[in-house]
A = this chain, B = another copy of it.
Amino acid sequence: MDPKPAGKTDRPGKRINAKRLAEDLDVSISTISRAFNKDAVIAPETRSRILDYADQLGYRPNPYAQSLITQKSRIVGIIVSHLENPFYPEALRGLSEALREAGWHLMLFTVPSGKTPDDILPLAISYQPEFVIVMAVTVSSRAQEVAERAGTKLIYFNRRDPDSSTFYVICDNAHGGGMIADHFLDTGCRRLAYIAGFQNASTTLDRWRGFRDRCIERGISDVWREEGYSFSYEAGYSAAMRLMDRRPRPDAVFCASDIIALGCIEALRTEFGLRVPEDVSVAGLDNIEMAAWPSHSLTTYSQPLDRMIEATVKLIEEISIGAESEKVAWQIRGDIIVRKSTRPMPGGKDAVTLPDKPS
């Protein structure tokens, strides 16, 4: 019954490989390989005999040899530039799990301050991942070219490239801006302002565009814009300080991201003694977990993270099996989440209200 000549199991030294299994089980190396390959031609009992024995020995095919011969790595690189913005850990976590389930390995590259994703890209490609997901605001269009030369596909997450035709997955930022504008106007605010994030980011631009266009549509042509220069708490804090020095003061502020909004709210309270939302309504965009905390209870537009992740993985899978996907870009719509950082609806009835207490 013993599948191998006695005593062979604890052969010393050399790490176990297919050859070792082959000898012990008296089959060829090819057969070992086929046992692990889902759709290879092999007798069922042979396969299970091999799999069992492999299990017993703790054998797994060497991924480097596999990558070498197949020219596929099943590795996805991911470049993240701003992990301090809670949106990104949330996205990272989701992507990590979804990719793992789809059988991909994730290689992480963070962008140190002072460097750009472009600087990191060559490193990221050096391990020849099949894809690189870029979760960062600034990327030159040369990036595309660099990646291509290495045979790596680039996918932008939460960012689109106006010029190039790279794959990207984003939420409908302009729609978000519009929804927030509607909400502000519906609740009686009239002096509207926007705090921008990083200046050239597509997210900054699209959210502004959606917000401003809707305001104009509804007869408010004068919308303030204050630069934040980055997507961070500090940016929101200091932008709010500059913004509130203007006269008349705005009565509603749409921040380009939740984390900016939190900084903004804090500045309003601490530095100006203003109440939110009685004196000023504040809304963000992202719907990070913290936005739901009672202390913040931030009205926001939610990025449909789950669906964005799903789309990303789908994109990867499709390109990977060679089905040159027609759908190069995904733009997914989110929802407005009304909480307590904005004035209540005049009629009394809130449109959508989500619980903001921890469950």
Q: Which residues of A contact B (CB under 8 A)?
A: 15, 58, 60, 62-65, 67-68, 73, 78, 83-84, 86, 88-90, 92-93, 96-97, 100, 105-110, 112, 123, 126-128, 149-151, 233-234, 237-238, 262-263, 266, 269-270, 289, 293-295, 357-359
Do residues A128 and B358 form an inter-chain contact, with CB atoms below 8 A? no
Cα A127 to Cα B105 in complex, Å, equals 8
Given contact pairs A63-B127, A151-B15, A93 touches B110 in the complex (Cβ within 8 A): yes
Complex: A211 Cα to B219 Cα, angstroms = 61
Q: Which chain B positions have C-beta within 8 A of A105?
A: 107, 127
Q: Name the residue on B nearest A82 (C-beta).
A: B93
7 contacts between A and B (CB under 8 A): A62-B68, A65-B68, A83-B89, A97-B112, A234-B358, A266-B293, A270-B294
A233 contact set on B, CB distance < 8 A: 293, 358
In the complex, the answer to whether A58 meets B150 with C-beta atoms within 8 Å is yes
Q: Is B97 a contact of A92 with CB atoms below 8 Å? A: no
The CA-CA distance from A97 to B73 in the complex, in Å, is 23
List B contacts of A293 (CB < 8 A).
Answer: 233, 262, 266
Query: A106-B108, A149-B58, A295-B269 are known contacts. Are A358 and B263 too (CB-CB below 8 A)?
Result: yes
CA distance A63 to B123 in the complex (A): 12
List the B residue with the shortest CB-CB distance to A88.
B89
Cβ contact within 8 Å between A100 and B123: yes
**Bound CA span A233–B106, Å:** 28
Residues of B within 8 A of A67 (CB): 64
Question: How many angstroms from the CA of A89 to the CA of B234 in the assembled complex?
Answer: 18
Query: For the complex, what is the distance from the CA of A109 to the CA of B269, rounded to whole Å?
Result: 40
Q: Which residues of B contact A357 (CB under 8 A)?
A: 237
How near does chain B come to A342, taking the closest CB pair, in angstroms? 18
Please name all residues of chain B whose beta carbon is closer than 8 Å to the beta carbon of A295 when the two chains form the complex. Answer: 262, 266, 269-270, 295
Docked CA distance A323–B127 (Å) = 27
Residues in B with CB closer than 8 Å to A123 are 100
Q: A92-B110, A106-B108 are in contact. List 17 more A-B contacts (CB 8 A).
A: A63-B127, A63-B128, A64-B64, A64-B68, A68-B68, A84-B89, A84-B93, A84-B289, A88-B89, A96-B108, A96-B109, A100-B109, A107-B108, A233-B293, A237-B358, A262-B293, A266-B294
Question: A149's closest neighbor in chain B, by CB?
Answer: B58
Instruction: Tell me which of A65, A89, A107, A233 has the highest count of chain B C-beta atoms within 10 A of its own C-beta.
Output: A89
Question: Which residues of the other chain, B, contact A234 by a CB distance below 8 angstroms?
Answer: 358-359
**Please, which residues of chain B bring their CB within 8 A of the CB of A151?**
15
* Chain B residues, CB < 8 A from A150: 58
